[in-house]
Amino acid sequence: MASVHKVAEPVTSATPGESPVEQRLRAFADETEASLASLLQGDGPPELSRAEHYALFGSAKRFRPFLVAACFDLLGLPEEQARTVGAAAEMAHAASLVFDDLPCMDASEVRRSAPSLYRATDEATAVLAGLSLVLRAVHLLSSPTSGIDAERRSQLTLRFAESCGAAGLAGGQFLDLAGAVTANAQKTAPLMGFCCEAAAICAGQSVEVAEQFRGFGEALGRLYQHRDDELDDDGTGEPSAKQVEYERTQHLLRLLPQPATESRMGSLLPAMVDWVAGRTA
């Protein structure tokens, strides 16, 4: 089994011309790197831990934890809770990329300008590292040390499982293998829906409000995928489809509570929608 040598690379400082969202995202990514690194320490074979580390780090935007933090801030929730949920979402996302790259899936040899995990190690290690990351996420969400009460932890874990299972990431990957046009959106939207809905769950909001948050997150995820398709230039990123999703996302955003002050992170949500629609990478 090959050794894994990739290490986390800190996000560089903001550059001239960046939008407020890009500047905040860069700073937030630096903070998230340190938090994620601490969560990977623990029991297990060292080679497996190194493989998980390889999958989780390396030029990642950390947009999902950023989205979690914005929604949690919008509802006045503690940063500790946002960090827990954000880390779980990022672990699931990283695992999905590991699985997506496998020879039996997309057979992608490069991820984030580095060899895919199965190329840096081997297929068995990649599969086990991806599985371990998902289970680490479940452990995070269900742990009493998260600062979230037991009933809400149970709700979070249930919704997380749904977003990763047949109705979410796993189902999207299956459809992708079958050549379904909507597959990529299903791989992106459910997890982003969870990122937003988690805030409503932790705040004890009604089912209706939780559904509004989830709807916004899923629409944002579809918009994110439409932009990915445009950047990939694979013929599926139709401008009209992206515009429809952009307008839907803006509408669903207006249904959410308004931030208390402009200094709060939640006030960035409208700009985040614009950034997703127009990002260049």
pLDDT of residue 7: 36
pLDDT of residue 235: 47
Residues listed for the chain: 281
pLDDT of residue 281: 78
**What is the distance between the alpha carbons of residues 280 and 54, in angstroms, rounded to a whole number?**
25
**30 residue type, one letter:** D
pLDDT of residue 3: 47
Residue with structure tokens 């929730």?
Answer: 77
Residue 156, Cβ neighbours under 10 Å: how many?
25
Residue 177, Cβ neighbours under 10 Å: how many?
12
User: In a 3-state reduction of DSSP, which class is residue 40?
Assistant: coil
pLDDT tens-digit series, residues 136-193: 999 999 999 888 999 999 999 999 999 999 999 999 999 988 887 677 778 899 999 9
Residue 267, Cβ neighbours under 10 Å: how many?
17
pLDDT of residue 14: 47
Extract long-range pairs of 177-182: CB within 8 Å, 24+ residues apart. 177/105, 181/236
66 — phi, psi (to 5°)? Answer: -65, -45
Cβ pair 147, 85 in contact under 8 A: no
**What is the distance between the alpha carbons of residues 23 and 62, in angstroms, rounded to a whole number?**
13
**What is the distance between the alpha carbons of residues 26 and 164, in angstroms, rounded to a whole number?**
27
Nearest to 76 by CA among 235, 226, 200, 197: 200
Cβ pair 191, 92 in contact under 8 A: yes
Q: Which residues of the chain have pLDDT under 50?
A: 1-3, 5-14, 235-237
DSSP secondary structure of 76-96: T--HHHHHHHHHHHHHHHHHH
Residue with structure tokens 């990283």?
Answer: 94
Cβ pair 71, 199 in contact under 8 A: yes
Nearest to 193 by CA among 185, 181, 205: 185
pLDDT of residue 4: 54
Q: What's the CATH fold of domain 20-274?
A: Farnesyl Diphosphate Synthase (1.10.600)
DSSP structural state of residue 279: -
pLDDT of residue 11: 42
**What is the distance between the alpha carbons of residues 253 and 273, in angstroms, rounded to a whole number?**
9
pLDDT of residue 260: 64
